[in-house]
Amino acid sequence: MTAGTAPSLTQNIVPVEAGAHVTALGWLKGTAAFALGDGGVLLAKDGETHRVEAHPDAGVLVAVSDGERLLSGGDDGRVAVTGADGSTRTLAETKGAWIDSLAISSSGAFAYGAGRRVTARDDKGREKVLEVASTARGLAFAPKGYRLAIAHYNGATLWFPNVEAKPEQLEWKGSHLDVTWSPDARFVVTSMQENALHGWRLLPDKGHMRMSGYPSKTRSLTWSHDGKWLATSGAEAAIIWPFESKEGPMGKAPRECGVRPAKVSRVAFHPNAYVLAVGYEDGCILLIRLADASELLVRPAVQGSGITAMAWDKAGRHLAFGCEDGQAGILTLP
């Protein structure tokens, strides 16, 4: 089935005029927060919007949410935090260095990268700094415990900020961009400059996993709620790797869902069902059920309106999305 003939949910979308490139978005309980290339954060709830100047006269390069608040990093060298109530304040500041990597943990800790320097601040406000060998590109906290994965050139570093021990190096040649932990913390996976993913099995054997064959870079990674599947962007379909065995996906073929003549730019797994939201560079969004690969059309292709951000709310009833041209919207599942 193609997007043209898929049953449609387009009537269930409330459009949101974000007004600028949507860099990232997150849900703050029932409020969708759109972080924008012009420095603003647009809060949307029940058809009402409220704009917050999180980075005045600057741009948001990266943003993450823990379900309560939205952290944004800007080209003004600041980390700002925005709440659903419209409050915003500065959490951290560098001397003008761009902040283009951020991570947030469920415990309230956060970390940000500026060049090679990674700063982690725990829930008690204790701050630790680690300088890695080359620019820190991706940051991700382990699902449990205060441990940070940092992607960079020639591998990744695993760091316990509050432990004196030397950080652990995961080596693999090439430039590593984004990083993610599997929900059971057994795997760390990075996206690479070279149109591939690289993974490390932390348990039991520290083995490598190389997932290649993408026609372009993979910049969006999402785990199914149970950690059995890792869905990825970068091809003209969502590429979904099986992670249920302890070896990971090695020797197994990935699933390809939502084949269309446009590249997948964002993927977002439903928080408690085997349903994947797939956003494309041509602006189209499909919902795909893994069980039978059936497709629902959320948004038809819109010229110049490629999908740049997507996120489900905690209950999985709403999907928010944002686009490069400042269009955005919220889908409510029927």
Concatenated DSSP letters of 154-205: EEEEEE-TTS-SPPEEEEEEEEEEEEEE-TTSSEEEEEETTS-EEEEETTTT
Whichever of 100 and 282 has its CB closer to another protein, that residue is 100
Whichever of 65 and 105 has its CB closer to another protein, that residue is 65
Q: Which residues, 6 or more positions from 113, have their beta carbon under 8 angstroms from its beta carbon?
A: 99, 100, 101, 102, 119, 135, 136, 137, 139, 150
Residue 175 CB, nearest approach to another protein (Å): 5
Residue 71 CB, nearest approach to another protein (Å): 17
Residue 182 CB, nearest approach to another protein (Å): 24
Give residues in contact with another protein (CB under 8 A).
21, 23, 37-38, 59-61, 75, 96-98, 100, 115, 134-135, 137, 153, 173-175, 192-194, 216-217
Residue 3 in tokens: 């997007």
Residue 59 CB, nearest approach to another protein (Å): 5
Whichever of 173 and 246 has its CB closer to another protein, that residue is 173
Say which residue the tokens 């560079």 belong to: 281
Q: Where are the beta strands (DSSP E) in 37-85?
A: 41-45, 48-52, 60-65, 69-74, 78-83
CA–CA gap between residue 19 and residue 327 (Å, rounded): 7
Residue 318 CB, nearest approach to another protein (Å): 24
Residue 332 in tokens: 């409510």
Whichever of 133 and 203 has its CB closer to another protein, that residue is 133
Q: Which residues, 6 or more positions from 314, have their beta carbon under 8 angstroms from its beta carbon?
A: 27, 29, 67, 271
- Cβ atoms within 10 Å of 173's Cβ, excluding its own: 11
Whichever of 129 and 163 has its CB closer to another protein, that residue is 129
Whichever of 99 and 320 has its CB closer to another protein, that residue is 99
Say which residue the tokens 């993979």 belong to: 218
CA–CA gap between residue 329 and residue 62 (Å, rounded): 19
| Contact criterion met (CB below 8 Å) for 197 and 239 | no
Residue 62 CB, nearest approach to another protein (Å): 9
Whichever of 49 and 175 has its CB closer to another protein, that residue is 175
Whichever of 178 and 313 has its CB closer to another protein, that residue is 178
CA–CA gap between residue 239 and residue 257 (Å, rounded): 7
Residue 204 CB, nearest approach to another protein (Å): 27
Residue 178 CB, nearest approach to another protein (Å): 12
